[in-house]
């Protein structure tokens, strides 16, 4: 292996005098540099909790601007021909970028951070230290772009890449050697959400080869949830396009290190190749970072609810916030949260595709970390650059759907997902899953009565077109006999609102049961835009057993289901149910009448005022005209 300008690889070494020191005018290859290539981004040191540090900045702006201005300038005037100023040229450095880099170094627990134009740009800077013959060890599940760059380097630059299952550190031990120049890790991996034991791998690697660099892509967790430098990594990089900026309106890549020699090398490449972030994007990234904590908290709590929702409906969900994740403990030993990216499988790639395309609120988009929720099929999108054969070898499920959860109202997200998922689950060969949905039927009810009832439900399903076909089966009992509909059903958390139903082939939306008759008959309140009555604590659980199930084509199929419903409450909240199903009760009618009266009264008032104003105006006008006529006459005569 040839020797690039080499870092000491001592991951424990403390920051040198990089901070605050004038930049050396001799570069790593011993050349004299033009004056003042921009300096470093020394760590200011964290004093407060991370959420505080994210918004707390110290800048030496000449006017004390509380938000670091955008220095939209390519060049900087110097006080003498041989330097004298901190900046000369924005490729080398720019005050807006330096401010951002200092801030990032602080929140990433790094001695130094550097920012470039994209996450892949950051990896490019890192991998430029590799030389022909160098070996790289990386995962068998990793972001498609990373895989593409490594494959390119293997084909063109003589790098040897080993893909191993990094969830087992022993697999890394099996290939690490004195030829290993870099071990490149993701945790969680993208998109299979596998967890990698960074501290164990870092130890194995450094014990075997002190020169090998452990590099971690921390994009999925962000500094909010993890600091891989504290776990033994030598370099951490992130796509700033994602959680750090949070709005999918810029591209950015961040690199951070503790070893100053590594920092100098990375800076050398950035200055030489000109990939540093622009002042404008540096400003936007800085602004985004300030809201990282609040965004991540909301995204993460939404993700947890959504993961539980999908899991409770029988899907195989990959998310480290779920106890069922095989590496739950490992993840939480390294990170402060589970993040907001999860994936799940449907068992069929075409079905997954249809689900993704049926989503409305969830945008079909690559990337993650945005305030908006996104849905994607990695094999066709973010990881499409990994060829199908390799994907198969690496056991990447073609049907995997990746969800990147945003900050929207979680009930809306679940509604949309339920509808998208449900639109296709009750199709052809998927009935088993549909049955699972039926069995988990659980609704809440703002009722006042107690009920113990046994009943038999006949469920009819007409396969419709588009995504409006509801997915879950909810028994409906009305005064006109027992019949059934398919409705989008909430489990946990309870979604009090929309139910998508088909009854007699017609799609309609409405709410979960509001009315429970004295006779134990339940009806739905349909076509109600918002529930007027707060859903009370009463819960109704229906269990059902499917006895027959064959769906084919567009045929109407009848499924016999016997169910038991138990409801028990004496809740006194809410108003009494109307006597007959969803018909409006006396109070509803009274409210309509009162509303009409108030409306008419208001209208009458407005019209009366307008008339009075008009007549007063008319009267005054006539009076003025009369007075004017009289005056003019007098003058003429005089
Ligand atoms: N067309 C792009 C796809 C970018 S995917 C972005 C990303 N990091 C993710 O995981 O979604 C490409 O080919 O790189």
How far is ligand 1, taken at its centre, from the CA of residue 242, in Å? 11
How far is ligand 1, taken at its centre, from the CA of residue 383, in Å? 7
How far, in Å, are 241, 252, 369 from residue 53 at the CA level?
20, 21, 20
Instruction: Please name which of 404, 368, 375, 398 lies closest in space to residue 386, comparing C-alpha atoms.
Output: 398
32: pLDDT confidence band, cut at 50, 70 and 90? low
| Rounded CA separation 149/614 (Å) | 78
**Residue count (the chain):** 638
Q: Provide the token pair at 170.
A: 């022993």
- Least confident residue range of 50-64, 108-122, 170-184, 599-613: 50-64
Torsion angle of C-alpha atoms 439, 444, 450, 456, degrees rounded to 10: -30
H-type alpha helices, 367-473: 388-393, 410-425, 431-439
**At residue 128, does pLDDT exceed 80?**
yes
Which of 118-122, 380-384, 527-531, 608-612 is most confident?
118-122
428 Rama sector, left if φ>0, alpha if ψ -120 to 50, beta otherwise: left
pLDDT of 592 reads 67
**At residue 420, does pLDDT exceed 70?**
yes
Give the residue-averaged pLDDT of 244-252.
98
Q: What is the DSSP letter of 323?
A: T
Residues 492-517 pLDDT 10s? 222 222 333 333 333 333 333 323 33
149: pLDDT confidence band, cut at 50, 70 and 90? very high
Pocket of ligand 1 (CB under 6 A): 143, 145, 190, 239, 366-368, 382, 385
Assign 3-state DSSP to the chain and report helix, strand, coil percentages, each to 5. Answer: 35, 20, 45
Residue nearest to atom 6 of ligand 1 (CA): 367
pLDDT of 28 reads 57
Collapsed DSSP state (helix, strand, coil) of residue 557 = strand
**At residue 436, does pLDDT exceed 60?**
no
Residue to mutate, 243, 367, 377, ligand 1, most ligand atoms under 8 Å from C-beta = 367
More confident residue, 162 or 597: 162
Q: Which atom of ligand 1 is nearest to the CA of 241?
A: 8
ipTM given for this complex: 0.93
Torsion angle of C-alpha atoms 263, 268, 270, 272, degrees rounded to 10: 180
More confident residue, 552 or 330: 330
Residues 71-101 pLDDT 10s? 999 999 988 877 677 888 999 999 999 999 9
pLDDT of 443 reads 32
Collapsed DSSP state (helix, strand, coil) of residue 627 = helix
pLDDT of 377 reads 96
414: pLDDT confidence band, cut at 50, 70 and 90? confident
Q: Which atom of ligand 1 is nearest to the CA of 143?
A: 10
Q: Which atom of ligand 1 is nearest to the CA of 191?
A: 10
pLDDT of 85 reads 78
Q: Which atom of ligand 1 is nearest to the CA of 381?
A: 3
pLDDT of 94 reads 93
**At residue 405, does pLDDT exceed 80?**
yes
Residue nearest to atom 3 of ligand 1 (CA): 382
Share of the chain above pLDDT 70, in %: 64
Residue to mutate, 145, 146, 380, ligand 1, most ligand atoms under 8 Å from C-beta = 145
How far, in Å, are 28, 68, 78, 111 from residue 61 at the CA level?
31, 7, 18, 22
Residue nearest to atom 7 of ligand 1 (CA): 367
| Contact assessment for residue 588 and residue 578, using Cβ atoms and an 8 Å cutoff | yes
Residue 187, burial from CB neighbour count under 10 angstroms (0-12, 13-18, 19+):
buried
Rounded to two decimals, what is the model's pTM?
0.67
pLDDT of 559 reads 36
More confident residue, 2 or 281: 281
Residues 266-282 pLDDT 10s? 999 999 999 999 999 99
Give the residue-averaged pLDDT of 237-263.
96
How far is ligand 1, taken at its centre, from the CA of residue 148, in Å? 11
pLDDT of 203 reads 98
Please give the positions annotated as active site.
Answer: 91, 143, 217, 242
| Contact assessment for residue 126 and residue 237, using Cβ atoms and an 8 Å cutoff | yes
More confident residue, 356 or 295: 295
Q: Which atom of ligand 1 is nearest to the CA of 190?
A: 10
**At residue 518, does pLDDT exceed 70?**
no
Starting at the edge strand that comes first in sequence, how are the strands of the sheet with 506-511 ordered?
A: 473-478, 481-487, 498-503, 506-511
- Least confident residue range of 219-233, 404-418, 485-499: 485-499
pLDDT of 458 reads 33
Any bridge partners for residue 401, and if so which? 344
pLDDT of 289 reads 98
Q: What is the DSSP letter of 374?
A: E
Q: Provide the token pair at 280.
A: 């404008």
Instruction: Please name which of 298, 218, 256, 280 lies closest in space to residue 103, comparing C-alpha atoms.
Output: 256
- On average, the pLDDT of the chain sits at 73
Residues 535-590 pLDDT 10s? 333 233 333 333 323 333 333 333 333 333 333 332 322 333 332 233 344 555 56
**Unique residue bearing structure tokens 């760059």:** 149
How far is ligand 1, taken at its centre, from the CA of residue 367, in Å? 6
The three state secondary structure string of 64-108 is CCCCCCCCCCCECCCCECCECCCCCECCCCCHHHHHHHHHHHHHC
How far is ligand 1, taken at its centre, from the CA of residue 311, in Å? 27
Residue nearest to atom 5 of ligand 1 (CA): 382
Residue to mutate, 192, 245, 367, 382, ligand 1, most ligand atoms under 8 Å from C-beta = 382
133: pLDDT confidence band, cut at 50, 70 and 90? very high
Q: Pairing between strand 557-567 and 498-503?
A: unpaired
């Amino acid at each position: 292996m040839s020797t690039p300008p080499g870092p000491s690889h001592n991951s424990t070494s403390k920051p040198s005098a990089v901070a605050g020191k004038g930049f050396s005018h001799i570069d790593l290859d011993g050349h004299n540099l033009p004056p003042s290539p921009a300096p470093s981004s020394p760590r200011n040191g964290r004093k407060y909790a991370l959420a505080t540090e994210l918004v707390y900045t110290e800048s030496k702006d000449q006017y004390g601007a509380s938000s670091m201005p955008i220095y939209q300038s390519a060049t900087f005037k110097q006080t003498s021909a041989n330097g004298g100023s901190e900046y000369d040229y924005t490729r080398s450095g720019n005050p807006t970028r330096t401010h951002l880099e200092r801030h990032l170094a602080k929140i990433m627990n790094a001695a130094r951070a550097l920012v470039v134009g994209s996450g892949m740009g950051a990896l490019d800077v890192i991998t430029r230290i590799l030389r022909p013959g160098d070996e790289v060890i990386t995962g068998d599940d990793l972001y498609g772009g990373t895989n593409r760059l490594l494959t390119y380097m293997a084909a063109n630059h003589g790098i040897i890449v080993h893909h191993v299952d990094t969830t087992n550190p022993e697999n890394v031990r099996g290939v690490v050697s004195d030829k290993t120049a870099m071990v490149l890790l993701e945790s969680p991996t993208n998109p299979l959400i596998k967890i990698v034991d960074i501290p164990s791998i870092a130890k194995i690697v450094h014990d075997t080869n002190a020169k090998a660099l452990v590099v971690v892509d921390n994009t999925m967790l962000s500094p909010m949830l993890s600091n891989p430098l504290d776990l033994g990594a030598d370099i951490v990089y992130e796509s700033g396009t994602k959680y750090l900026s949070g709005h999918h309106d810029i591209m950015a890549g961040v690199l951070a290190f503790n070893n100053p020699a590594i920092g100098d090398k990375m800076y050398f490449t950035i200055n030489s190749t000109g990939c540093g972030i622009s002042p404008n994007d540096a400003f936007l990234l800085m602004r985004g970072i300030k809201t990282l904590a609040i965004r991540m908290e909301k995204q993460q709590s939404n993700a947890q609810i959504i993961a539980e929702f999908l899991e409770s409906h029988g899907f195989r969900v990959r998310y480290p916030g779920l106890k069922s994740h095989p590496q739950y403990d490992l993840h939480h030993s390294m990170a402060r949260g589970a993040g907001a990216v999860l994936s799940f499988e449907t068992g069929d790639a075409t079905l997954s595709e249809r689900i993704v395309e049926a989503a409305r609120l969830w945008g079909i988009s690559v990337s993650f970390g945005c305030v908006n929720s996104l849905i994607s099929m990695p094999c066709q999108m973010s990881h499409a650059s990994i060829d199908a054969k390799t994907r198969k070898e690496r056991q990447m499920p073609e049907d995997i759907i990746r969800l990147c959860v945003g900050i929207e109202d979680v009930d809306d997200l679940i509604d949309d997902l339920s509808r998208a998922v449900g639109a296709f689950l009750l199709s052809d060969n998927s009935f088993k899953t549909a049955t699972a949905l039926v069995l988990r039927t659980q609704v809440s009810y703002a009722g006042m009565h107690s009920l113990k009832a046994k009943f038999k439900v006949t469920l009819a399903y007409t396969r419709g077109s588009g995504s409006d076909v509801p997915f879950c089966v909810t028994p409906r009992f009305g005064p006109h006999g027992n019949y059934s509909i398919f409705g989008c059903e909430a489990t946990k958390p309870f979604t009090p609102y929309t139910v998508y139903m088909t009854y007699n082939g017609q799609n309609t939306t409405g709410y979960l049961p509001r009315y429970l008759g004295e006779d134990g008959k339940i009806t739905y309140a349909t076509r109600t835009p918002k529930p007027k009555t707060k859903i009370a604590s009463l819960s109704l659980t229906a269990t059902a057993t499917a006895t027959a199930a064959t769906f084919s084509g567009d045929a109407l199929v009848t499924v016999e289901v016997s169910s038991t419903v138990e409801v028990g409450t004496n809740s006194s909240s809410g108003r009494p149910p109307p006597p007959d199903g969803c018909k409006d009760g006396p109070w509803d009618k009274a409210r309509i009448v009162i509303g009409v009266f108030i409306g008419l009264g208001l209208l009458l008032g407005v019209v009366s005022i307008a008339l009075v104003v008009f007549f007063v105006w008319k009267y005054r006008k006539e009076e003025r005209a009369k007075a004017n006529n009289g005056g003019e006459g007098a003058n003429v005569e005089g």
